[in-house]
């Protein structure tokens, strides 16, 4: 087991990264919340695989549980699902003082469960049990919770730190290849923005990455969590530095929405990182060799690198609903070299001109 401690005063918690299964999750929850009632939220992909194991682990530690399952996919992150969760919690008698919401699944369930926990009875505890690589290295750490509105991703949400993150690498063995690659995109992002050694680790061990070697995954997950931990501890509520974690996400979210969510989050972020490199080139901050190096790495692990269908001015219009918009400008994360990114406000009309210039 590796443990990454996120130190945020009274809101501090541990990210426990285990090579095995989920049998230890009840024990770690019970250490701080003995006798709690657990509201387990999952989806139709994950629940058949792991819900019984998690509930058995909870029962073994004298923690009772109820299970609520949503249809898998981005559609679960909507107001209707949030209302359903609130009502379900109320109908099952979950109170403010003895409730733990357990998010069992990937980023969608984590965002929904976290936001429900943040708002039900003005806030109850919750625990992340991320079963996707993307959730283990990104969405489960940092306390961001949200749901979508039509045409706007993560438009409504709150900051609500989990009580514990229990990341079982064993769950990654059942992860579909496409979802696994989505998680690798976020791992790459952490290497790009803060720790280039992660890029070297992936580039030098592609077969082990593709084969999901447990030792390598343990290193990649823990190092990614450390990168995010370091940023979150300095800027918990995204007032400044934490925005560097959005590298690739401005274009990425726009690509997700424009594709009708046919592009998964990690796939869109991968393309968004290449777009951010290209914007940085147009601004004279770096040359094309950086983008080419990142493209080569992405190709070797099976990520789509065909930016051209998405490098178009009309995509910028989707950014007008971005949470990072300020007075007509978007706080865009640019790059100079691996390990060194910056946040700069770019007016949308300027961004449109940069994209248009790049296609002429």
Catalytic annotation, residues: 122, 144, 186, 228, 238, 242, 246, 249, 253, 265
Nearest to 220 by CA among 137, 145, 291: 137
Tokens of 115: 């936001």
In three-state secondary structure terms, 297 is helix
Tokens of 265: 């989050």
Residue 12: CB partners within 8 Å, gap ≥ 6? Answer: 5, 6
Nearest to 7 by CA among 192, 184, 222, 236: 236
Burial 177-199 (b: 16+ CB within 10 A, else e): eebbbbbbbbbbbbbbbbbeebb
Using CA atoms, how far apart are residues 225 and 140, in angstroms rounded to an integer?
9
Please report, for the chain, how many H helices and E strands are present, in that order: 13, 12
Please give the full DSSP string across 311-350, using - where no structure is assigned.
Answer: -SGGGGGGGGG-TTEETTEEEEEEEEETTEEEEEEEEHHH
Contact 293, 354 (CB under 8 A): no
Tokens of 316: 């910028």
Using CA atoms, how far apart are residues 276 and 260, in angstroms rounded to an integer?
21
CB atoms within 10 A of CB 264: 20
Using CA atoms, how far apart are residues 269 and 256, in angstroms rounded to an integer?
9
Q: What is the separation of C-alpha 308 from the centre of its chain, rounded to a whole number of angstroms?
A: 25
């Amino acid at each position: 087991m590796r443990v990454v401690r996120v130190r945020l005063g009274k809101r501090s918690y541990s990210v426990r990264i285990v090579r095995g299964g989920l049998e230890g999750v009840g024990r770690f929850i019970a250490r701080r919340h003995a006798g709690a009632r657990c509201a387990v939220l999952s989806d139709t992909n994950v629940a058949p695989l792991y819900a019984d194991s998690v509930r058995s682990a909870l029962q073994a530690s004298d923690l009772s549980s109820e299970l609520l399952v949503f249809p898998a996919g981005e559609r679960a992150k909507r107001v209707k699902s949030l209302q359903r969760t609130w009502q379900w919690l109320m109908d099952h008698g979950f109170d403010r003082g003895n409730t733990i919401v357990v998010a069992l699944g990937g980023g969608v369930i984590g965002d929904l469960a976290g936001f429900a926990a943040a708002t039900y009875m003005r806030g109850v505890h919750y625990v992340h049990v991320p079963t996707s690589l993307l959730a283990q290295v990104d969405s489960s750490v940092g306390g961001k919770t949200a749901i979508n509105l039509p045409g706007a991703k993560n438009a409504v949400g709150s900051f609500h730190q989990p009580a514990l993150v229990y990341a079982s690498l064993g769950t990654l063995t059942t992860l579909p290849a496409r979802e696994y690659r989505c998680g690798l995109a976020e791992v790459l992002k952490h290497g790009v923005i803060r720790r280039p050694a992660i890029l070297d680790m992936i580039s030098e061990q592609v077969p082990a990455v593709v084969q999901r070697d447990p030792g390598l995954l343990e290193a990649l997950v823990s190092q990614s969590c450390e990168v995010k931990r370091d940023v979150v501890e300095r800027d918990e509520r995204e007032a400044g530095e934490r925005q560097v974690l959005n590298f690739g996400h401005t274009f990425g979210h726009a690509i997700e929405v424009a594709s009708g969510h046919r592009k998964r989050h990690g796939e869109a972020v991968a393309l968004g990182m290449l777009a951010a490199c290209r914007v940085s080139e147009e601004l004279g901050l770096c040359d094309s060799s950086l983008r080419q190096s990142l493209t080569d790495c992405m190709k070797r692990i099976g990520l789509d690198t065909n930016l051209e269908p998405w490098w178009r001015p009309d995509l910028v219009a989707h950014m007008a609903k971005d949470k990072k918009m300020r007075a007509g400008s978007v706080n865009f994360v640019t790059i100079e070299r691996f390990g060194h990114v910056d946040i700069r406000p770019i007016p949308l009309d300027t961004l449109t001109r940069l994209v248009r210039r790049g296609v002429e």
